[in-house]
Amino acid sequence: MNTQLLEARSSLDHSVPNSVATHPSSARLSVSRVGAADRLALRLGMALVIWGRRNVDRVDARARAAAHARNERSRIGREQAAQRELLLSAPRR
């Protein structure tokens, strides 16, 4: 049986594509981490958005409560009117 072992090529034989950008303006760019001021600004912005939405929800709740009160008064008025008509239309004994 004829067996041949393949030798591993050295890394010099492989042509590795250059992963670094070659554009001249890329030399000025650097990877930066998000600083504490940026995190603070993000949290402040989110808090303002949440606070603003809270007011919208409160206005909606007030409008629903006012509509419920109007509907309840209207229902009571209809019931009283029906009772009044029933009492006035009934024959006297």
Q: Is residue 70's pLDDT more than 70?
A: yes
> What per-residue confidence (pLDDT) applies to 32?
67
Q: Is residue 50's pLDDT more than 70?
A: yes
**CB-hemisphere CA count at 13 Å for 82?**
6
Q: Is residue 19's pLDDT more than 90?
A: no
Helix (H) or strand (E) holding 88, with range, is: helix 36-89
Full residue range of the structural domain in which residue 82 is found: 38-89
Buried b (16+ CB within 10 A) or exposed e, 43-81: eeeeeeeeeeeeeeeeeeeeeeeeeeeeeeeeeeeeeee
- How many domains does the structure of the chain reveal? 1
Query: Does 65 fall in a domain?
Result: yes
Query: Does 73 fall in a domain?
Result: yes
Q: What's the mean pLDDT in 19-33? A: 63
Q: What single-letter DSSP state applies at residue 74?
A: H
Query: Does 53 fall in a domain?
Result: yes
User: Of 24, 26, 43, which Cα lies nearest the Cα of 34?
Assistant: 43
Q: What's the mean pLDDT in 38-52? A: 92
Query: Does 45 fall in a domain?
Result: yes
Mean pLDDT of the chain: 80
